[in-house]
A and B are shown apart, each in its own frame.
Chain A
């Protein structure tokens, strides 16, 4: 059942949520729509920032700040580097083969599947039948204990994945040097 919000009696949190949602959706749309690569990147930065704001509304301070540090402080900066250093004009844009477009569509459909599965799984939590009384999820102590006890195995797998990616990145940059 979708509840239609009462605009006249909206709480400040609801107003904030609406404003943030508008910013998130508008900048996400502009990221795809804008023709200039630099502007795309900056819209994406604003989009990530407003997502951090959403996390703050959910009382997830740690998640909000990690999102800020990782996505805005590291990934988008590197993205800007690439855009600044490469000559991304319309003329020297490579023609994308059909298989790439097909791949993109398949990946998009798979992503939708994952998202649907995620929302289905999170439904009991959103309905309020999930018991969170007495748990302080703002506290990073609770989060740390949860990650290293209950979710130990996925956590370690994720760290191994990151390590592999890091070694791969170093290897790629080294290889280029040898070829020169």
Chain B
């Protein structure tokens, strides 16, 4: 392995890490601005222009707060919980193709940390590990509200993972690959998967809301019932880590939605731009296109949060197990029939 390869990958990883942190930080600002807009208020407007320095001020405040630890026999697990939540939220970004490639310094630089051919499974694996951060933290808090919040979060995430996985199966039958890079490449020129698999997209979107514990499925931190849910006992930057992990998750899941269903970095006329203005410019615009799409999804998350009230817990489980899972299985069967229609027609003699 040559050293330039290692440097190249390190730079890509560091940039992705920085961008994820920045996006998560400014999602908190955007959330408050969107909420204010939807409720006909002004929102944060003191720190900087339009309150742009608000996230920095919030971070500073969280760091300066006293770190309070409850009287729990599991101090270590209590400390580890937020770390796991944050680490798993950041790890998923490794397989996302942020753009095709840039031609710099005489070599092609892939705009992706790694292209493993089981990319989607990797995301599912990391997401399923992410439950531990909430569960361990909530349990180690030694508080019944935290415990109930943690159990709710975990059971919700496990339940919706099933529907999420099944909704993706229909998409994978069509694409024939698990690599996110190849899925992006297949969607070149407005062949976006959302036009072929709208039901799959809808199920995936709903499950993404449940996986990130966002309203209308934020029963894990349902204030009226559980105080603050699993982070009731947390203070200072540890609580900040949980909240930050939620926004990082939101950013990553928006990106995955954009990559899987909305063409990733592809935009109309990309091949024309690549021919006339050069590959680099075409791919830089591609990165921009991906960010426009994912910012749209982030806005959608916030829009839903400030519009739709919270579900009841049994409604949530009913939706997950009795509606979304059968629907995604039906979707898989329909997709299978459509893919094999030639063989079926030949068999029937039509």
A residues with CB within 8 A of B = 38, 42, 45, 49, 61-62, 65-66, 68-69, 72-74, 77-78, 80-81, 84-85, 138-140
Min CB gap B16→A, angstroms = 20
B residues with CB within 8 A of A = 74, 77, 116-118, 121-122, 124-125, 127-129, 131-132, 135-136, 139, 147, 150-151, 154-155, 158, 161, 178
Do residues A85 and B151 form an inter-chain contact, with CB atoms below 8 A?
yes
A42-B158 contact, Cβ under 8 Å, with A69-B121, A69-B128, A139-B117: no
Do residues B151 and A68 form an inter-chain contact, with CB atoms below 8 A?
no
Do residues B132 and A45 form an inter-chain contact, with CB atoms below 8 A?
yes
Find the B residue at minimum CB distance from A71.
B128
A77-B117 contact, Cβ under 8 Å, with A65-B122, A68-B129, A84-B139: no
In the bound complex, how far is the Cα of B179 from the Cα of A62, in angstroms?
Answer: 12
In the bound complex, how far is the Cα of B128 from the Cα of A140, in angstroms?
Answer: 21
Do residues B118 and A73 form an inter-chain contact, with CB atoms below 8 A?
no
Do residues B129 and A72 form an inter-chain contact, with CB atoms below 8 A?
yes
Q: CB-CB < 8 A to B139: which residues of A?
A: 38, 80, 84
Q: Which of A42, A45, A66 has the most CB of B within 10 A?
A: A42
Q: CB-CB < 8 A to B147: which residues of A?
A: 84
Closest CB pairs A-B (n = 10): A73-B128, A68-B125, A65-B121, A65-B125, A69-B125, A61-B118, A62-B118, A65-B118, A69-B128, A69-B124
Q: List 24 A-B contacts (CB under 8 A).
A: A42-B77, A42-B136, A49-B129, A62-B118, A62-B121, A65-B121, A65-B124, A66-B121, A68-B125, A73-B128, A73-B129, A73-B131, A73-B158, A74-B128, A77-B135, A77-B154, A77-B158, A78-B158, A81-B155, A84-B139, A84-B150, A85-B151, A139-B117, A140-B178
In the bound complex, how far is the Cα of B139 from the Cα of A53, in angstroms?
Answer: 27
Q: CB-CB < 8 A to B124: which residues of A?
A: 65, 69, 73
Do residues A68 and B117 form an inter-chain contact, with CB atoms below 8 A?
no
In the bound complex, how far is the Cα of B132 from the Cα of A81, in angstroms?
Answer: 11
Beyond the given pairs A65-B125, A72-B129, 13 more chain A to chain B contacts, judged by CB atoms under 8 angstroms and listed by A's residue number, are A38-B74, A61-B116, A61-B117, A65-B121, A66-B121, A68-B125, A69-B121, A69-B128, A72-B125, A73-B129, A73-B131, A81-B154, A84-B151
Q: CB-CB < 8 A to B129: which residues of A?
A: 49, 68, 72-73
Min CB gap A81→B, angstroms = 7
Min CB gap A93→B, angstroms = 19
Min CB gap A162→B, angstroms = 14
Q: CB-CB < 8 A to A78: which residues of B?
A: 158
In the bound complex, how far is the Cα of B118 from the Cα of A78, in angstroms?
Answer: 25
In the bound complex, how far is the Cα of B120 from the Cα of A62, in angstroms?
Answer: 11
Do residues B135 and A80 form an inter-chain contact, with CB atoms below 8 A?
yes
Min CB gap B135→A, angstroms = 6
Q: CB-CB < 8 A to A85: which residues of B?
A: 151
In the bound complex, how far is the Cα of B150 from the Cα of A77, in angstroms?
Answer: 11
